[in-house]
Amino acid sequence: MGDVQRAREEAEQISGASSAHGTVVAGLSGAAHVAMLPRALTRFRARYPDVQLRVIEGLYPTLESGLKDGSVDFYIGPKPERSVPKELTLEKLFDNTRAIMARIGHPLANATSLEELAGAEWVTTSITHRATEELGVVFARRRLPPPRLVMQTQSALSVIMAVAYSDALCMLPVQFTEFELTKKALVQIPIDELLPASPIVLVRRAGLSLTPAAECFADLLRGR
């Protein structure tokens, strides 16, 4: 029934009706929200004023079932750790890096190396299925003891709040260092090591085109 409704919406949007209706459901990671959503919203609303837009903040593992059954049109965020199933297709958008961030006024805010952060507490996000190991890999490269993980979150808002109101540190996609709301509460710690992040990708159902409205929104998020 979902596919039938989707077909109706697609036919209406293809016809070019000025009052085309329908729904676009996009799953976006925190980095995608910060880096892509602001540039897409106004133009999408101007093009499809009567199409309802639903944006879900999440990472691929929590959105996979929705992508497979069609209840989520597409996902943009870090590349999943595992290969996507054959029902889905993956498009790489760009490579990414991360930054270590702390609350403004943190005593370690001016640290320049991971060694100086070895005794800190950390907050992490569930970007991979082995989230607790994500920080450990970074420290192991410098032959440092595993970092002390005190909190794990599943949303950008949760990690920002946890870091802003504690002495814990976090690694976030580099896009957050230029996000106006984040800059009011957090500061980047200028360590001398590059911190690679998972590439940002777009995942959607294979063998089934997006509706014109969903394709338009995806293109706007890509910057086209």
How confident is the model at residue 14, as a pLDDT?
60
pLDDT tens for residues 31-70?
999 999 999 999 999 999 999 999 999 889 999 999 999 9
Distance in angstroms (rounded) separating the CA atoms of residues 207 and 190: 45
Sign of the Cα pseudo-torsion (73, 152, 128, 97, in order): positive
Torsional sign, CA 220, 126, 182, 175? negative
Of all helices (H) and strands (E), which one includes residue 80? none
72-103 pLDDT, tens digit each: 999 999 999 889 999 999 999 999 999 999 99
- Per residue, the 3-state secondary structure of 90-139, as one string, reads EEEEEEEEEEEEEECCCCCCCCCCHHHHCCCEEEEECCCCCHHHHHHHHH
Nearest CA to 70 among 174, 191, 177, 207?
Answer: 207
Closest CA relative to residue 205, chosen from 3, 43, 37: 3
CATH numbers and ranges of domains, the chain: 2-94+199-222 (3.40.190.10), 96-197 (3.40.190.10)
